[in-house]
Amino acid sequence: MKRKDGMPKAKALRNMPAFVVGHRDTSIADRCGFHRCPPRPYSVLSLFSGCGGLDLGFHGGFEALGTTYARTNFHIVNALDNDQDCVDCYRLNIGPSERCDLSAVDVATLPPVDVLIGGFPCQDFSSSGTKLGTTTDRGKLYQVLVRYADYHRPRLIIGENVPLLRQLAGGKYLKEIIAAFGSIGYQVSIWRIVCQDHGLPQSRTRLFIVGTDVEYARPSAPRLERRRMFIDEAIVDLEEVTDETIPNQSQYFVADVATSGGGQGDHTNRRGAFAYTIRANARARIQFHYRLPRRLTVRECARLQGFPDSFVFQYSAMRNMKLIGNAVPPPIAHAVACHIQEVLNGTAVCDEQLELALV
């Protein structure tokens, strides 16, 4: 098969590295206190856990982008997802996880916890998705968080999704979600976090939906450290690595630079700038390297998403990119977790400017 310019198309690299251990079993995890048991932990249940980006942040005990993220006082009791790839990747890198159809789960069978977390599916709220909101069965999956909270009454609920949720249909769908939690006695704060303003080397903005029982004060958004890192600073050391001495660096989609335009995923990154948003791209359209004539590798995308190099992805490039692109960046999740920990401890310092007015 030939490209539009008549040249033959390059074939994809189909290597699938074999990993026996993931982050949890590395010396890096030991050094960062990953296995430390908090003296008085706050219990956490994770729904829609994916490969574990949000959970790794809430757990702590990892190094990424030149920073050590300390072990928190949260203990994740269990993590549930309906995707077996997610479950197996989570088990390899973090700990116990179960495959579960969350659309049909009986919440009474789930354990009571202090904090419920979950990045519920974003496809129906995303600018690159259907934009059908809560009119679809998938768009209604946030309701399992509501059902759990109504039955078990966790002290705090942390939901995560895409920023378009706030504007889609004039804010109708976000209002529906807020009202659902309000109907069971939870007050809601909406935190909009621009990840590149806080150390993530890619353009990425996320909404955190924070629910608290009415007997507790409604927390303001965290005061995050403001620092910036560009793509070349994050991955320049990987430019000469073409094997698995750094996990998943040999995996990338072989393609020549787009001959015209730059559709979603076909942009070329620029040195001295933030990377384009890392997406869960099912068609291999991953952005191109700022200097090398290829698309970004799986490891480079994982770095840009804030995963430590010790966190490995054991599948094909396409399956791995789905895991990475759907994840919450662990450093951002860690910042949120540390603030929630302070809220529970009664020592939180807040920044009202990061909190959005409720729609």
Catalytic residues: 122
Q: What's the gap between Cα 256 and its chain centre?
A: 29
Roughly what angle, to the nearest 10 degrees, separates helices 172-182 and 143-152? 10
Residue 21, C-beta contacts closer than 8 angstroms, at least 6 positions apart: 92, 312
Residue 1, C-beta contacts closer than 8 angstroms, at least 6 positions apart: 8, 9
Instruction: Find the radius of gyration of the CA atoms of the chain.
Output: 20
Q: Which of 72, 16, 22 is nearest to 52 (CA)?
A: 22
8 Å CB contact between 188 and 166: no
CA dihedral 293, 299, 305, 308 (to 10 degrees): -150
Collapse the DSSP code of 121 into the 3-class scheme (helix H, G, I; strand E, B; otherwise coil) and give the result: coil
**123 burial via Cβ count (<10 Å: 0-12, 13-18, 19+):** middle
